[in-house]
Structure 1
Amino acid sequence: MGSSAHSRRNILRGIGAGAVVVGWNAVTGTWATTSASAEGVIPVPPLDGTLETSPAVLGEFSKDWGGFITATPKAVLRPGSVQDVVKIINYARANCLKVTVNGQSGTADDQESHSFWGNAAVPGGIAIDAKGFSTIHSITSTHAIVGAGVSLHQLSAATLDRGLIVPSQTDYLRLSVGGVASVGGFGGTVPKYGLFSDMIEEVEVVTGAGQVQTASPSVRPDLFNAVINGAGQVAVITKAKVRLMKAPERVRMFTLSYTDLAKWQRDQEFLMRDGRFTHQGGGFSRKPDNSGWWYQIEAGYYYSSPAVPDDAALLAGLNDERSALQVHDHLFRDWTFRVDPGEQAWKDGGFWDGPHPWLHLLVPASKIQTFVPFVLSELQVEQLGAGFTILSPFQTAKVTRPLFAKPNEPVAYLCDLLRMPPPGDPNIQAYLAQNRRFYEKLVSLGGKRYIIGAIPGMTPTQWQRHFGTVWPFLVASKRRYDPDGVLTPGQGFFS
């Protein structure tokens, strides 16, 4: 291929009308165009995709869904190949630049990083648009091989067409496979199957040293364990092999309500041990008459014809307020995409574009009776806005990859405050301060945070405390696979 074709591919667009960037000027900290002096400029290598610098594009990659951190990159790579990522990482290493993958989650008209505190921010660096790896390569009866930029929504649609589904994935599906694999991924089947990241059987990555590697639990397991739940610290995921199972035809959902937290917890853990339900979650919400809180269990029974659920057997031995029981039956495809209408309602109501002070915590089971009353002594239902809560158990042994920090007990609970403040809410900073108080209380009880979420003031020392005994593994992996420290600075683990 001729040099003119390479130069067309290698355009960094938008610095000025017709301007073509030829390289990075480390002296001035700017991209050099063909009209500028070439002195001190290190040429950009030929790319199969494009590197873009228009203000509009940089603006799209400067924010995230949380809405609290704004950090503008110098350029955005739209990769046309894995080799583009190799070249840009090596270029960044040579020029003291940082690189981060941005999942660009969401729908076509509102894509952005679905992180909360600048986790995918790369101020002054290069953002990689994960949508460059949005191909579903193959689907078999046991697994799918997909690009890291494929959303769980796209993957679910494709697998359901074949009667298959990922055993465990997030409830909100417009998230990239690579992004969720990098942090964990909670949904209603975690009690039975583990996190979404536990569904990853193999990855193709480009390390921070610019090497393309394949890793799995049996091939380069150290790299695999540093990538999965590793928050993008050691490598860029470009492709993943994801476990699949046969999808049911229908799901029958039971919403069980309790006024007694202890009874609720006993039933949650009884059901998780019993295993009669495939989906199991829960939360707390105000009673309709505002006289107190309901503690609720959401339990889903998966089935296909000719089977018919036996409601009496499924509810046997439980101690809920049976008069408040709700039962709904759904086609499994409808259930899989159940969050879509709610997302649109949030958008129509103006809740989607504002700040989102979401809190995600992991509570030891032995401390539920202490921590939940502490939260409810301060939390007002108005502080949730149009949002809701999650309080769902999981077996910590089901979480198999080491970098997911979890309480040191057999059972823990995901405790989420998914606040959706109304437009113009003046109390956003108060919600963030409350998040911090709840987090510090939980740490004193032996709990952990989920690494996504809006908790201000995290320091490297606190992150070291968070990772605990696996911190040395994370540090050693960073040094080995990202020796120049170019990847994912926004997470703030090390500085």
Structure 2
Amino acid sequence: MRDSGLPGLNRRGFLAVGAAVAVVAFDPLGLGWITQAQADAGATGLAVPPLDGELVTDDAALTEAADDYGQITHDRPRAVLRPGSVRDIQKIIRFACANGLTVAMRGQGHSVFGQAQAKAGVVIDSRTLAQIHSVGTDRAVVDAGVQWTDLFQAAIAAGRTPPVATDYIGLSVGGTLSVGGVGGASSHHGLQVDNVLALEVVTGTGELVRCSRTQNRELFDVVLGGLGQYGVIVRATVKLIPAQTTARMYRLTYASLTDFTTAQRTALRDGRFSYLEGQVVPTDTGWAYVLEGVAYFTGQAPDDAAIQRGLPTPTATEIAEMPYFAWLDRITALVDQLRPLKFPNPWLNLFLPDAATDRYVADLLANLSPADVGGPILLYPVPRARLTRPLVPVPDGEVVYLLSILRVVAPPNPDTVTRLIGDNRTAYLNARAVGAKQYAIGAIPMLPTDWPVHYGAQYPRARRAKSTFDPHGVLTPGQGIFS
């Protein structure tokens, strides 16, 4: 068993720490969860099935499960499952179905709007199921609780790599596969969910199902990017490709938004960069636009002049080089420093249609104060044909742009957070009017009537899948899709 991901604690450590407050029964009419101490004092209820791990109700566990990176929503569960096996997840979901409870899987707690919380329900902590089972030439088999950091290191040691990394790789495999997983290499390989070969999923009825493009295809299609609504991912077989050893980075700064997006579109068409992103950066007089392109290589470095040929002339150019894994891991230390500070993060994440991007972004920036951002603004294109998962809606057209305003409110101010969440809602509605979709990892208040518009023609499929795979509606209530 690999380490759970908690400093100094593996699964055995979890069991020892939580033994005093482990749950043994459930009283649906009175006490709720009953600990061994309460049972010894005479409390009675429905016996919790025997577990390989533990179900706990101590304050520290419940407080952590009601917390996430966003620091906006704090819905406290009644219990936390630290599974010792996949069987534990099956048993607790079945117990939830029988007793009117809700269940959510929590990985590294990097959601920003309570998406992985379960108010008065059960949160499953995936960190106790975090084993890398195998790394081969074209695929790796991993538990859902494995962090991408660990998978990349194990794969690179074998000369292989997952095709796509999110900018921060300290996330769980199950977490990003439930939402999409976008990054600079999506320009070549799509989202992380587009690079999955097979899954093992526990459905909302507690059934363990193996699925792929050739086996139980409908479950496979709806779970990847399905926001946790149809099943809990417990194991994934992900694609691997040959890894290069070095990343050569090009930062091309433009004063004009249109020069910046023209450069990005040119680079996207010919695929000159292995990784293609971009940032909008505040200046004393407005905004600057930085194309971030990276060429991965082994041996001979790329020709810098050839890499930049045909692009609009930037106002500044920076070129640097570092080992491949160091590049992937470049912001981990920063995120790990920021997280304990508990700054609110009311993020805005949108997929924009290419044809509307320049106008929409220009209008948004004209009314956006750098003081209301506090973090990076990402803007970069992805070919729509690479995005294949039916329940990750994206706009029509050959190219879509990801716009991410990664707001940070420092120091914390509840009034500011409320205002910015309202701004996110307005920005979302304006974007939707030009054909955009939200990338559902941010802090955008969504009404029940928004989700049919979000999913469009796929909404009936989403409804059918919910009825089929989670008929009791127990899974991932924090998304609020099928309330």
With the shorter chain as reference, the TM-score category is over 0.9
Name the residue aligned to 2:99: 95
Name the residue aligned to 1:423: 411
Structure 2 unaligned spans of 5+: 1-11
Q: Cα 1:178–1:345, aligned 2, differ >3 Å: closer, same or farther?
A: closer
Contact 1:13 1:53 in 2 (8 A): no
CA distance in 2: counterparts of 1:31 and 1:286, whole angstroms: 51
Q: Cα distance, 1:38 vs. partner?
A: 5.9
Contact 2:165 2:328 in 1 (8 A): no
Q: 1:80-479 residue pairs with structure 2 within 5 A?
A: 80-103=84-107, 105=108, 113-287=109-283, 290-305=284-299, 307-321=300-314, 323-344=315-336, 346=338, 352-385=341-374, 387-425=375-413, 427-456=416-445, 458-479=446-467
Q: Cα distance, 1:62 vs. partner?
A: 1.0
Contact 1:77 1:127 in 2 (8 A): yes
SS in 1 for 2:164: coil
Q: Cα 1:311–1:125, aligned 2, differ >3 Å: closer, same or farther?
A: same
Provide the aligned C-alpha RMSD in A: 2.0
Contact 1:254 1:328 in 2 (8 A): yes
CA distance in 2: counterparts of 1:392 and 1:452, whole angstroms: 17
CA distance in 1: counterparts of 2:21 and 2:403, whole angstroms: 50
2:167 alignment partner AA: D
Q: Cα distance, 1:345 vs. partner?
A: 5.1
Name the residue aligned to 2:5: none
Which of 54, 63, 70 is the aligned partner of 1:59? 63
Cα deviation code 1:180-228 (max 9, x no counterpart): 0000011110111100111111100111111111001111110001110
Q: 1:10-49 residue pairs with structure 2 within 5 A?
A: 21-32=23-34, 33-37=38-42, 41-49=45-53
Contact 2:22 2:56 in 1 (8 A): no
Name the residue aligned to 1:110: none
1:327 alignment partner AA: I
Contact 1:22 1:44 in 2 (8 A): yes
Cα deviation code 1:322-358 (max 9, x no counterpart): x4111111111211111123225536xx7x4111111
Name the residue aligned to 1:108: none
SS in 1 for 2:449: helix
Q: Cα distance, 1:258 vs. partner?
A: 1.8
Q: Cα distance, 1:303 vs. partner?
A: 0.8
User: Does residue 1:483 correspond to 2:476, yes or no?
Assistant: no
Return the TM-score normalized by structure 1. 0.91
Contact 1:21 1:34 in 2 (8 A): no
2:135 alignment partner AA: I
Cα deviation code 1:151-181 (max 9, x no counterpart): 1111112112222211112010111100100
Q: Cα distance, 1:283 vs. partner?
A: 1.8
Return the TM-score normalized by structure 2. 0.93
Structure 1 unaligned spans of 5+: 1-7, 106-112
Name the residue aligned to 2:6: none
1:134 alignment partner AA: A
2:331 alignment partner AA: V
CA distance in 2: counterparts of 1:491 and 1:29, whole angstroms: 27
Cα deviation code 1:94-138 (max 9, x no counterpart): 1111111011x1xxxxxxx11111101111111111112100000
Contact 2:21 2:58 in 1 (8 A): no
Q: Which deviates more, 415-424 or 337-346?
A: 337-346
CA distance in 1: counterparts of 2:43 and 2:216, whole angstroms: 42
1:332 alignment partner AA: Y
Q: Cα 1:320–1:420, aligned 2, differ >3 Å: closer, same or farther?
A: farther
Q: Cα 1:63–1:19, aligned 2, differ >3 Å: closer, same or farther?
A: closer
Q: Cα distance, 1:72 vs. partner?
A: 0.9
Contact 2:344 2:412 in 1 (8 A): no
SS in 1 for 2:272: coil
2:59 alignment partner AA: P
Contact 2:257 2:362 in 1 (8 A): no
Contact 2:22 2:54 in 1 (8 A): no
Q: Cα 1:157–1:200, aligned 2, differ >3 Å: closer, same or farther?
A: same
CA distance in 1: counterparts of 2:23 and 2:248, whole angstroms: 57
SS in 2 for 1:86: helix
Name the residue aligned to 2:8: none
Between the aligned residues of both structures, percent identity stands at: 38
CA distance in 1: counterparts of 2:167 and 2:317, whole angstroms: 22
SS in 2 for 1:325: strand
1:309 alignment partner AA: P
Contact 1:12 1:50 in 2 (8 A): no
CA distance in 2: counterparts of 1:100 and 1:292, whole angstroms: 42
